[in-house]
Chain A
Amino acid sequence: MAKLAIRNGRVIDPATRLDAVRDVLIEDGKIAAIEASLDVTGAAEFDATGMIVAPGFIDMHVHLREPGFEYAENIETGSRCAAAGGFTSICCMPNTSPVNDSATVTRYVIERASRHAAVNVFPIGAITKGSQGEEMAEIGSMKQAGIVAISDDGRPVMNARVMRRAMETARSFGLPVIDHCEDLHLSAAGDMHEGVESVRLGLRGIPAASEDVMVARDILLAQLTGVRFHVAHISSRHSIEMVKFAKARGLAVSAEATPHHFSLADEEMPPYDSNYKMKPPLRGKCDVGAVTQGLASGVIEAIATDHAPHPGSEKMQEFEKCPFGIIGLETAIGLALERLVHSGVISLPRMVELFTLGPARILNLDRGRLAVDAVADITILDPERTWIYDVNRSFSKSRNTPFHGHSFRGGPVATIVDGSIAWSVE
């Protein structure tokens, strides 16, 4: 009968619109009580005075690199990184080796996670076999094995007919389709956002239009098929406009944004620093503003990190040779507080929603809320704690981040998964 009493924190639960100082009692991995003042004996105590007590944060877009690329990350290190970043649940993309395109790989990931993961791991299955964009993956069997969505993240389905069939299949199994929206012909060989900076640096550009045309295509296909369609890491202002338009028409369309896309613009990249190289690329200032506004207005419903570990040997190369992606689990809350909350763009409850109820709704996950009898996944954060991100102390196996040495105001303090403390700040 393990009991934990979290005392005197400001409890924010967007699902029930609760925002008040409360005590939370956890018993046997479940939330046993949320009350103004709990009279409990025999429980471990956690003093959350001055802190936020929220439903466990969910990152619906991470790369754990297992199986196949364990030199960059694995389920254990990636999930410990998640815990240290305040996340209790993460959804891992299927671009492993082999690709998660069958129930066998899905079961492998879930089995490995059950033994080694510090947080809940929900796999996302591939849309097509090997994410090659041609033949349909075993979507139904993967659903039975435990996937929560399908996506060919990083290798988007270019053939609209294949995408249509995949959407129809996904709909029949009640799965959302997540697309990394990128027209690979338009972005071919590009290294950074196409704009003044790419022209200045002599780097090949990735036009915003390469994202926009695919968002447009997918919205039309979502209308045709009735599937729930989700835009991964939205970065372009025109794409955000289109998602807004789709929602206004009542389509089941949603979008997520990454912390780096609401924090950094292309012009902020130190020349040829591959820690600023990702897909979609850091866009222009206007786009950063549109992402920020989208998070505030509700067009964008989730913050997801696109945590993408790459070893130093791969990032220490000529810019055009470096792979795309940065790690992000440990800096997400800090950036959201700094860029969105402290700067006055959104309220703390809205931020909590973007990390909890937002992704839970999109993926139809039974998480992201604080209720008696619900699984005790809880994130505790201190909006004022100052700390400096030292990537050399990261739980990740990789070090690719533009935020090394960044000084944050506010961050996670403890991460509780299934009623146990998975991580707490030193």
Chain B
Amino acid sequence: MRSGLLGIEHLDRAEIEAILDRAKAFQPAPNSQFQRLDTLRGQMVVNLFFEASTRTRTSFEIAAKRLGADAISITASGSSVSKGESLVDTLNTLAAMRPDAIVMRHAASGAPHFLARYLNTPIINAGDGTHEHPTQALLDARTILDRRPTLEGLRVAIIGDIQHSRVARSDMHLLSKFGAETVLCGPAALLPPELEKLAPNVSLTSDLREAIHGADVIMMLRVQLERQHEATFAAGEYFQFYGLRLDHIELAKPDVIVMHPGPINRGREISSEVADSQRSVILNQVENGIAVRMAVLERILRN
């Protein structure tokens, strides 16, 4: 962790607990203005986004600034990457400017892992291809724990394009480490059977109702059309079979919460009624994103 944060899979439980506890301290009190801290004064965080992102980039930027660090955001389209520079060269150039950490999103799975072998600067993975999105899993866990005493024994249904979801991978690793039961659900072509072997307490189904049955948490995923290289499912009938509607909610536990990493596509994977319902905690996830990223930045930069 001292060297950065690349994924959830290889983090241990104590490390995750420490981040989640610390994040709680960074949650703003209701109706109060957030005070800017100076914990990381004089430190520099570079947000390097090779892939479109609004919430994650903004969230990291705000997290850094609230801790008193300087944050710079770079997007690929406006950088030397568009001039044909290799990823290693871009990162070496940035590292030579001595930032204290690089927050990176990239469309290629493993891009931050590959760079971490060559760079001394800590790298925080803000999503790599279809592999991991560790801070999303941490903020999801924080959001659940704001409403439940423990993750242990919870039944969490993750629904959508699992194959291409880095959120699903990070979430299932985290939930499994804490003894929650994860049910992954989606069209068969987007649900490789090997998923079951990635972590304990993971099961698969292509039946939405079965997945939701008795669930404590329902996590909906966006259909990632940009990552699909072929037509794996008829888009026209996606909502009919995998879209979350109000009548599904009745199958879950009465106090079920509905989550979504965003951006949501109303009417594609989730109905407006569900997205705007009392059960939805989608905006709490966004809020927790800042708190969790503050905890992560603090942990990495103070070492």
Contact = CB atoms under 8 A, between A and B. Distances in A.
B111 interface: yes
B192 A201 contact: no
B225 to A, nearest CB: 16
Interface in A367-390: none
Contact of A316 (B86, B131, B192): B86
A317 B86 contact: yes
Interface string A198-213: 1111111100000000
Contacts of B229: 188-189, 204
A318 B51 CA distance: 14
Contacts of A313: 86
> Interface residues of B toward A: which range?
20 to 34
A318 B115 CA distance: 9
Interface stretch (B22-30, B194-202, B269-277): B194-202
Contacts of B166: 202
A200 to B, nearest CB: 5
Nearest to A313: B86
A199 B131 CA distance: 8
A200 B114 CA distance: 16
Given A202-B128, A202-B130, A272 B195 contact: no
Contact of A272 (B88, B114, B198): B114
Contacts of A220: none
Contacts of A318: 87, 106, 108, 110-111, 114
Nearest to B9: A200
Contacts of A317: 86-88, 114
A205 B163 CA distance: 11
Nearest to B109: A202
Given A202-B169, A272-B114, A313-B86, A321 B198 contact: no
> Interface residues of A toward B: which range?
20 to 34
A26 to B, nearest CB: 48
Given A188-B229, A202-B128, A319 B110 contact: yes
Nearest to A321: B108
Interface in A218-236: none
Interface in B111-155: 111, 113-114, 128-132
Contact of B109 (A194, A196, A203): A203
A189 B130 CA distance: 14
Interface string B156-198: 0000000100100100000000000000000000001011011
B222 to A, nearest CB: 16
Nearest to A185: B230
A285 to B, nearest CB: 13
Interface in A136-192: 188-189
Contacts of A134: none
A313 B163 CA distance: 30
B82 to A, nearest CB: 16
Contacts of A198: 194
B192 A320 contact: no
A201 B87 CA distance: 19
B197 A272 contact: no
Contact of A320 (B109, B197, B198, B230): B109
Interface in A261-292: 271-272, 274
A79 B130 CA distance: 41
A205 B193 CA distance: 13
A195 interface: yes
A199 B192 contact: yes
B298 to A, nearest CB: 26
Interface centre among A203, A272, A274, A321 (most CB of B within 10 A): A272
Interface in B191-227: 192, 194-195, 197-198
B109 A199 contact: no
A199 B194 contact: yes
A202 B86 contact: no
A110 B5 CA distance: 53
A262 to B, nearest CB: 24
Given A200-B194, A272-B110, A313-B86, 9 more contacts: A200-B169, A202-B130, A204-B229, A205-B192, A317-B86, A318-B110, A318-B111, A319-B111, A320-B109
Q: Which 8 A-B pairs have the closest CB atoms?
A: A202-B131, A272-B110, A318-B108, A202-B130, A202-B109, A199-B194, A196-B194, A196-B197
Interface of B: 9, 86-88, 106, 108-111, 113-114, 128-132, 163, 166, 169, 192, 194-195, 197-198, 229-230
